[in-house]
Amino acid sequence: MSEWIENGPAVRYEIRRNADGLIREVCSGMSWHGDFIWGEGNFACDCNREIFFCDAAGEDDSNRHCGHEAYSVRVTAVDDGRLIYQDHDW
């Protein structure tokens, strides 16, 4: 499990809907705080990932379902593009 990282780098999230391979990119001012939240925490659940995915396109996200297979995530640093985190199935 990763530790919470004080003042981590600004990150860019790529969220892929696995059913059709559509990827949406979300640039965020949020700093990276370790991989636990994406790998095992709240953001690992499809219901939360669907919110980010839909918000990236301004779509309604009212049909959320919990699970761990519908969406995959890759996270890179905004400043230099280095890979910070990606799901095992990316």
| Cα–Cα separations (whole angstroms), residue 75 to 8, 32, 63, 81, 89 | 13, 9, 25, 9, 13
Q: Are 74 and 83 in contact (CB under 8 A)?
A: yes
Query: Which residue in 34, 35, 41, 40 sits closest to 5, CA to CA?
Result: 34
Residue 63 pLDDT: 81
| Distance from C-alpha of 57 to C-alpha of 40, rounded to nearest angstrom | 25
What is the average pLDDT value for the chain, to the nearest integer? 85
Chain length of the chain = 90
Secondary structure (3-state) at 55: helix
- 56 against 62, higher pLDDT: 56
Residue 31 pLDDT: 67
- 65 against 27, higher pLDDT: 65
